[in-house]
Amino acid sequence: MDFEFRPIHQDEAEEAAVIESICFPPHEACSYEHMLPRIAAAPDLFWVAVDKGTGQIAGFINGLATNENAFRDEFFTDAGLHDPDGSTILILGLDVLPQYRMRGLARELVRSYAEKETGKRKRLVLTCLENLVGMYKKFGFSDAGESASVWGGERWHEMVLLLPESPDAERERGLLQQKLDSASGDHHGG
């Protein structure tokens, strides 16, 4: 399957709310009434994956920018907390429709989202249930422990992904590490 990754269009808010209701139980899902102002406040931080074959949104990742470093439940309901110049993005949802799961789409949404924010932001922060900590670690996040958030009456883990300063800085670090590995004879074969 081939996907187009792009910011959400305003007229796709209802479709996004339906996807959210499929992906999350009612006590955790973002309602249409909260989704609409979130999209209006930060459309560039609401990133969708559109199936090029069907034109359907297959999944999305969305957040708000802030200079705060920890989650507060108010971010889920108050899009007015968005600070366009914020150095941290609080990820409010990562949704993938069931028929697109187990194909790497969630990982690709996170990767492309982080890539587009590299050089603009310092970190991505999200909350997840304990059973998803391992998945997010595979995506590069670190577990910062239990979150202060109690959204939906749940106990959440706060996960943090530090972003490189720029795409060039990250690439240069990778090339340098390859050179160091080659020079030391540390070859990882498989």
pLDDT digits (tens, 9 = 90+) for 23-65: 887 777 778 888 889 999 999 999 999 999 999 999 999 999 9
- Name the superfamily (CATH) of residues 3-164: Gcn5-related N-acetyltransferase (GNAT) (3.40.630.30)
pLDDT of residue 70: 78
Instruction: Give the strand pairing for 3-7 and 88-96.
Output: unpaired
What's the rounded Cα separation, in Å, for the pair 79 and 127? Answer: 17
3-state secondary structure of 33: helix
3-state secondary structure of 42: coil
Sheet of 123-128, strand order:
3-7, 46-51, 57-66, 88-96, 123-128, 157-162, 142-146
pLDDT reading at 190 higher than 50? no
Confidence of residue 169 (pLDDT cuts 50, 70, 90): very low
Confidence of residue 73 (pLDDT cuts 50, 70, 90): confident
pLDDT of residue 180: 54
The larger pLDDT score, comparing residue 190 to residue 10, is at: 10
For the record, the structure tokens of 163 come out as 């972003």
Q: Residue 13, by phi and psi: left (phi above 0), alpha (psi -120 to 50) or beta?
A: alpha
pLDDT of residue 164: 86
pLDDT reading at 96 higher than 80? yes
**CB-based contacts of 165, cutoff 8 Å, min separation 6:** 118, 119
Confidence of residue 80 (pLDDT cuts 50, 70, 90): very high
What's the rounded Cα separation, in Å, for the pair 75 and 38? Answer: 10
The vertex-60 CA angle with 10 and 4, nearest 5°, equals 85
Mean pLDDT of 113-137: 90
